[in-house]
Amino acid sequence: MFKNEDYVLENKGIYYTYKNGKQRKYKSWLSGAFSFLYDPLMSKSVFPKTLGASMEKHELFLKNELNFIHNKEILELGTGSGNLSQILPNDNKYSGIDISKGLLKIARKKFYKAGFNKNFKLFLCSAEELPFKDNFYDVCIFNLSLNFFNDLDSVISELKRVLKPDAKFICSVPIKDRNTDKKTIRGNIYSENELKDIFESKGFSFRPYPFKNGSLLYFSAILEN
């Protein structure tokens, strides 16, 4: 599943990636010691206050979208604390990447608990430079992570590279147009049209879902040949 020039070593359930013999290192926005604060922050502050959105509706929407996906290779960029483990059917093979080791450690427990057993791998790496080989994944998910990627252009190029030609991409992301209360949202906040232009310029079709939930936009994208 890996590119030739990369290698990957596992330690206590987390896979560390190496390039040219050196382990890749990252600076995370939430330092390891504070990772335990992530879930309460999301449910008590980020969803209701910053995004003006319902976490329950968000999870239900994604569950309905992912419910019919079985026995596929799934990639999530920006795994965080592993909340997708509660949403994705556990007969899929899941690869999750994140730059936060602390959050990946929490995610590891959740994926075990959700019954993924040996069907999941968590990688400390950046979405901008993936260690995976070309044409490997059936489905890729960015759940609330797109706005955190500094170099979205590189991320989408990598996404395009690792997806199979008929693969599907699903994304939830806060956008400017729906941030009607002008809340300060972390990261790079795009408009729906900007995202459409970015994805279409990389050869994806851009399909927004009609579902609305606070500042969040939900869309899928499919590679057009």
Ligand X SMILES: C[S@@+](CC[C@H](N)C(=O)[O-])C[C@H]1O[C@@H](n2cnc3c(N)ncnc32)[C@H](O)[C@@H]1O
Which residues in this chain contact ligand X in the complex, by CB under 6 A? 28, 77-81, 83, 97-100, 103, 126-128, 143-145, 148-149
Minimum distance from CB of 80 to ligand X (Å)? Answer: 2
Using the minimum distance from each CB to ligand X, give the nearer residue, 127 or 221: 127
Minimum distance from CB of 29 to ligand X (Å)? Answer: 6
Minimum distance from CB of 161 to ligand X (Å)? Answer: 15
Using the minimum distance from each CB to ligand X, give the nearer residue, 184 or 225: 184
Query: What residue type is 209 in one-letter code?
Result: Y
Using the minimum distance from each CB to ligand X, give the nearer residue, 17 or 83: 83
Residue nearest ligand X, CB atom distance: 80
Distances (CA, A) of 109 to 52, 120, 122, 163: 29, 11, 11, 27
What's the number of CA atoms in the CB half-sphere (13 Å) around residue 160? 17
Minimum distance from CB of 97 to ligand X (Å)? Answer: 6
Using the minimum distance from each CB to ligand X, give the nearer residue, 153 or 205: 153
Q: Is 117 exposed, middle or buried (0-12, 13-18, 19+ CB in 10 A)?
A: exposed
Give the start-end residues of each E strand in the chain.
Answer: 6-11, 14-19, 22-23, 73-77, 93-98, 120-124, 137-143, 163-174, 204-208, 216-223
Q: Which helix (H) or strand (E) holds 24?
A: none
Minimum distance from CB of 10 to ligand X (Å)? Answer: 18
Using the minimum distance from each CB to ligand X, give the nearer residue, 83 or 215: 83
